[in-house]
């Protein structure tokens, strides 16, 4: 990922059963992180479709991937979009965490919000769909301030 604030999504590994390990990188306001989680194609396509709602209103389209064991859920990748104010600003809340290899192992975690526009969110949704369909290598959401 370059030095611009935003979000970058790529497949780390693609399986033949319409699932894949999605690698996510984020940079926002001096904070940065990277993580990966497994998602199904239908889950990603549904998320990309929900991101195109304009305005988002009270809707908060999101997606979450990680690991569940013995009722304990560990989220490695979480993305949630929300409307911010009334001027067309959108925030994408990003939660990234490293997988816990074994008890006592080192972990990392970042939670940031990428501020962007409906236009940029629409481009990201289209690129995410293309990524799932195999016609793009990545999906990028650029940070944008609205009304400045």
In the numeric block, which tokens belong to residue 40?
A: 């199904």
Which residue matches tokens 């965490």? Answer: 97
Domain that holds residue 73: 6-142
Does residue 12 belong to any structural domain of this protein?
A: yes
Does residue 147 belong to any structural domain of this protein?
A: no
**Tally of domains within the chain:** 1
Please determine, for residue 77, whether its predicted confidence score (pLDDT) is greater than 90. yes
Contact 102, 112 (CB under 8 A): no
Does residue 119 belong to any structural domain of this protein?
A: yes
Does residue 121 belong to any structural domain of this protein?
A: yes
Does residue 90 belong to any structural domain of this protein?
A: yes
Specify the pLDDT at position 88: 85
Does residue 148 belong to any structural domain of this protein?
A: no
Lowest average pLDDT, out of 14-23, 67-76, 115-124, 135-144, goes to: 67-76
For residue 46, CA distances in Å to 5, 71, 81, 124 come to 25, 25, 14, 13
Percent of the residues in the chain that have a pLDDT greater than 70, as a whole number: 97
Determine the Cα–Cα distance for residues 106 and 119; give it in Å rounded to an integer: 38
Q: What is the overall mean pLDDT for the chain?
A: 91
CATH of the domain at 131: 2.30.31
For residue 53, CA distances in Å to 22, 50, 61, 92, 107 come to 23, 6, 9, 14, 35
In the numeric block, which tokens belong to residue 56?
A: 């988002």
Contact 10, 138 (CB under 8 A): yes
Does residue 1 belong to any structural domain of this protein?
A: no
Does residue 129 belong to any structural domain of this protein?
A: yes
**pTM for this structure?**
0.91
How remote is the C-alpha of 103 from its chain's centroid?
Answer: 27
């Amino acid at each position: 990922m370059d030095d611009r604030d935003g979000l970058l999504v790529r497949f780390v590994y693609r399986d033949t059963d319409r699932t894949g390990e999605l690698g996510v990188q984020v940079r926002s306001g001096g904070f940065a992180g990277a993580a990966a989680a497994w998602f199904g194609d239908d889950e990603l396509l549904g998320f990309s479709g929900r991101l195109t709602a304009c305005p988002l209103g009270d809707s908060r389209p999101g997606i979450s991937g990680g690991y569940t064991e013995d009722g304990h859920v560990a989220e490695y990748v979480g993305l949630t979009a929300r409307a911010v104010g009334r001027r067309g600003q959108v925030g994408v809340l990003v939660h990234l965490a490293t997988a816990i290899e074994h008890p006592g192992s080192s972990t990392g975690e970042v939670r940031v919000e990428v501020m962007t526009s409906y236009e940029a969110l629409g481009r990201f949704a289209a690129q995410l769909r293309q990524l799932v369909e195999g016609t793009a290598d990545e999906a990028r959401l650029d940070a944008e301030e609205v009304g400045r």
